[in-house]
Amino acid sequence: PFRRLLATRATVLAEAARALAGAQVVVATALVRDAAVLAARRTRPPELAGLWELPGGRVEAGESEADAVVRECREELGTDVVVDARLGTDLRIDAGVLRVHAAHLADGAPGPRALEHSGLRWVTAAEVPGVDWVPADRAVVADLVDLLRP
């Protein structure tokens, strides 16, 4: 019991330290085109490989969330996006906090390509609930359906 108390305290302290330090923000992109959203299949880590996500990644120091969305879409999808509104609430993930931003392709930007994923697919509102999403992204399914149904 004493060791469990110590372990519990360590967890509480670790969480408090993370909150004080400012949790790492990870952005995810709900890229919408023709009433469909882009889902990307992850290749790593093993527990997430094969599952589908909204593409994104860690916000770097001195970078806005919108800048991070644009950069990640260039790196992972080879295309330029314009960021629209935040979607849903903060989602707790192991890495920190995940924030979803809706976006659309910039004028004349090429279609996205899977530069770092093992597949891409455009998903309609009807299809969104049936996708095998990574756990965090599953929490925005209802918001995605709303976003895609005008």
112 lies in the site for ligand DCM, by CB under 6 A:
no
93 lies in the site for ligand DCM, by CB under 6 A:
yes
At 70, the amino acid letter reads V
Q: Are 133 and 51 within 8 A, CB to CB? A: yes
User: Nearer to ligand DCM by C-beta: 105 or 140?
Assistant: 140
CB of 14 to ligand DCM, least distance (A): 17
Out of 19, 94, 108, 130, name the contact with ligand DCM by CB under 6 A: 94
User: Nearer to ligand DCM by C-beta: 9 or 90?
Assistant: 90
Can you point out the beta strands (E) in the chain? Answer: 25-33, 36-41, 52-53, 56-58, 81-93, 96-105, 120-124
HSE-up of 68 (CA within 13 Å, CB side)?
A: 21
User: Nearer to ligand DCM by C-beta: 5 or 19?
Assistant: 19
- Neighbour count for residue 119 (Cβ, 10 Å): 12
Residues at the interface with ligand DCM (CB under 6 A): 26, 28, 53-54, 56-58, 93-95, 98, 134, 136-137
